[in-house]
Amino acid sequence: MRGVSRGMEKVNCFQCKHFFVTWDQGNPRGCRAYGFKAKQLPSAVVLQASGHSCYKFLPKPSKQ
């Protein structure tokens, strides 16, 4: 299953299915798809490390 992000599009982690908030004060944000926690938003870490926006972004399901 592929995400919807392509190329250099800006990704909002708060709208992603894989984003989560941790109890770790040193690394308060995480990504389940890539399996890491960080101080920055996971999309910023992915962009910095790979030079591409996050390819695993999946929008959260809408609440009904």
Model pTM score: 0.78
Helix (H, G, I), strand (E, B) or coil at 62: coil
Overall average pLDDT of the 22-51 stretch = 95
pLDDT of residue 8: 64
Nearby residues of 12 by Cβ (< 8 Å), 6 or more positions away:
43
Name the helix (H) or strand (E) containing 31: strand 29-31
Judge whether residue 6 has pLDDT over 80: no
Residue pair 57/43 in contact (Cβ under 8 Å)? The answer is yes
Is residue 7 scored above 60 in pLDDT? no
**Considering its fold, how many domains does the chain have in total?**
1
Domain that holds residue 17: 1-55
Residue 11 inside a domain? The answer is: yes
Whether residue 60 is contained in a domain is answered as: no
Residue 46: CB atoms within 10 Å: 25
In whole numbers, what is the pLDDT of the chain averaged over residues?
88
Instruction: Please report whether residue 61 resides in a domain.
Output: no
